[in-house]
Structures are given as C-alpha cells and as structure tokens.
Amino acid sequence: MPIRLPDHDSPAPSGRTHALARRLLNTRVHNVPLLNCAILVLFVFLLSKLTSKYHQLYTRSSLVATMATNIVLYGIADTLAQSISAYFQQISPQRRSSAYSLATYLESAVPRRPEDYFVDYGEDGEVSMGLQNTEQPPEAPGFQFRRFAGFIVWGFMMSFVQVVWYSFLNSMYNDDPSVVSVLERVLTDQLCFSPVSLACFFAYGTLVIEQGTSEDVKNKLYRIYLSTLTCNFCLWFPVQFINFLVMPTQFQVPFSSGVGVLWNCFLSLRNAAS
C-alpha cells in the first residue's frame, strides 16, 4: 500500500489555521477591523433581545435589568470607541488632514504642561519652541480586550450605584412633573453625582484598565477632568431634564444609559487618548 509522505513545503494544518485567523483579524470593513464589526453586531443583537424583554425583566428586578442594560450598552460604547480610533489611524494622510479626527480633537483639548515643550536653539542660534514628539507613528491597532472587559465591568458596577441613586432621587423629590421639581432633581444629579462618578471613572480607567499608578491618576485628572466635566454638564443637563420630566420611573435608567452610549464612547476615547 503506497504511503504518501507529508509535503514539507506546504504549511501544516495548524499553520494554515493561524494564517487564516491572522487574515481574518487583518480584514477591514471601511478601515474598521472585521472583529470590531462582528462584536458590534453581536452586542446590537443582544440589545434588540434585551429591549423586547426589558419590561418583563424590570418587573422582576430593577437591578438585574439595569445590570443587563449597562453590560450591553457599555460594550457597544467601547467597541464604537475602538472602531473610531482604528478608523482614523488607518486612513491615508491626505484623507486624515481633511477628515474630522476625533482623536486629534481630544488631544488638542488636553492642556499642555510646561515639560511637554522643548527649546530648539537651531544651528544659527535662533530659539524656537515646540512640542516634544516622542511617540512613534501609530501601528495598526488590534482589538483591546482588556479595555473592552474593563469598560463592561465598570458598567456592571455602576448599575448598583445607578439603581440606588435613582431610588434616592425619586424618594427625595415628589412625582410632581413641574419645571421647578425637575430642575431640583437635575441640579442634585449633576452637582452631586456627576463630578464624583467622573473622577471615579478616570481613576478606575487608569488603575485597572491601564494598570497605572496613583501618580498617573493625578496627572490624568489634572489634564482632562475639568474640561470633561464641562462637556458632561453641556450634555447631561438637558438630557436629565427631559429624563425626569417625561420618562416614567422604570425607563429613566435605560434612557440615560441609551444616551450614555455616545457619552461613554466619548469617555473611552478621552481616557485612552490621555
């Protein structure tokens, strides 16, 4: 019986599998990695299923409903953020100069420290100032599963805080949908809850997701906290005013979480860009 020896020139099955996996990971849809698109489609599908079952889930447990909502929406938010970063890092320099680069905007919005600048005396003795350019050109980014998982865990933990906080607001203020009553809720929410939760997010993102130090937390808060808090007030004052004025109690958390997809996408980009 003839025996066929393996051809050493042809790749082994495991090698072909790895090559196929690398090819799939490097495949892009409009400069967005295929893996990002697949994860986004999966979580949008989960969101559609959750939407159809939300009322039934909320009647059983508001906490479980909020957990499920936050896990799905925070996953969508970070996947969007990573996809946006991947898109702008892969477009050509000509298109990058004409397109709106969110990463460039976020970088320009961060105040510079004196040590970020250098003095160039030049060959003819002329003095010029410039930004230190110590970073190498960005490589094609892969999907950051640690960042993705950390963001979902943050949403999971925030579900406990959100349920307690909204219960506190509903018990502290009456259900009168007057402008004054709603304005009191919004002011309490924005002046008491938002500054603390935003600072905790940046601390969590630096220590847990990025595995930084307490000094890194201080530097990040110094650089981007106040400007991000200003953006927070510009967005969430009108959103929460509509939320408390129009939305029924059981839909207040999912409404704010739904708007929070875009906000958390912004926060994810902001945290990663700093």
List the beta bridge partners of residue 185: none
Count of structural domains, the chain: 1
On whether residue 131 sits in a domain, the answer given is: no
Identify which of 72, 75, 70 has the alpha carbon closest to the alpha carbon of residue 158.
Answer: 70
Residue 259 domain flag: yes
163, 253 in Cβ contact below 8 A?
A: yes
pTM of the predicted structure, to 2 decimals:
0.73
- Does a structural domain hold residue 179? yes
Residue 6 is assigned to a structural domain of this protein: no
Let me know if residue 95 belongs to a domain: yes
């939305």: which residue's tokens? 247
Alpha-carbon distance values, 109 to 43, 223, 228 (Å): 31, 9, 9
> Is there a domain that residue 117 lies in?
no
Residue 1 lies in a domain: no
Q: Encode the chain (274 residues) as per-residue pLDDT tens digits.
A: 444 444 555 555 566 666 666 666 667 777 788 888 999 999 999 989 988 888 888 888 889 988 999 999 999 999 999 988 888 876 655 454 444 455 455 555 555 555 554 444 455 555 444 545 444 445 555 789 999 999 999 999 999 998 898 888 878 876 666 788 888 888 998 999 999 999 999 999 999 999 999 999 999 999 999 999 999 999 999 998 888 888 887 777 778 777 888 898 998 888 887 7
Cα distance between residue 172 and residue 117, in whole Å = 50
Asked if residue 122 is part of any domain, the answer here is: no
